Structure 1
């Protein structure tokens, strides 16, 4: 079983290292990420839920860690995350059911963490 809060912190540290060693590419990605998830016509919470659905459908554990964390931080409710998982399953089929279960586990773990 993955520990999503630990995965989130480990990925943050590794992305920081990657940013120091590949500053142009990671700086550009960071700017893209910030611009893409900023409040606009769609609120940040909606954008994080969209990113979570795509992460589940793409079978990306790190994406699940990041976007569950960030969706909850943007005040997404558990019910909103569950509906997001449903959309991911619809788009990704059986494998997304497994990753949807992983996202549910991440919600449970982040709900119990102090972050």
Structure 2
């Protein structure tokens, strides 16, 4: 399984080049992310839990890493994360179960300090 701290740092570094090379696309994506994650009928933590579940369902390690970081900053509990992963597995079956294990590895790595 990936080292999620290194993975997210590496992706962040790679995105710096994209911000320089395709700035309008990156600004647009950033604006979309900002708008989508604002508190509204759903709070930020709930939205990040949804994003983690989608990251698991589509098998995106980068998504798992970044959304796990956000969830930990927002104070998500292990139980909240695990219940979210349960829903992802329910909706995505066996492949989502494999990535739910990845998500818990990310949780363990990011809470080890």
User: TM-score, normalising length from structure 1?
Assistant: 0.94
Instruction: Give the SS at the match of 1:112.
Output: coil
Kindly indicate whether residue 58 of structure 2 is the aligned counterpart of residue 58 of structure 1: yes
Structure 1 ranges of 4+ moved more than 6 A: none
Give, in angstroms, the shift of residue 43 of structure 1.
0.7
Aligned partner of 1:107 in structure 2 is 107
Query: What does 1:19-98 correspond to in 2, within 5 Å?
Result: 19-98=19-98
**CA distance in 1 between partners of 2:71 and 2:16 (Å):** 21
Give, in angstroms, the shift of residue 75 of structure 1.
1.1
Give, in angstroms, the shift of residue 17 of structure 1.
1.7
**CA distance in 2 between partners of 1:27 and 1:81 (Å):** 29
Give, in angstroms, the shift of residue 105 of structure 1.
0.2
Give, in angstroms, the shift of residue 16 of structure 1.
2.1
5+ long unaligned stretches in structure 1: none
**CA distance in 2 between partners of 1:70 and 1:17 (Å):** 23
CA RMSD in angstroms, aligned pairs only: 0.9
User: TM-score, normalising length from structure 2?
Assistant: 0.96
Instruction: Give the SS at the match of 2:39.
Output: coil
How many residues align structurally? 113
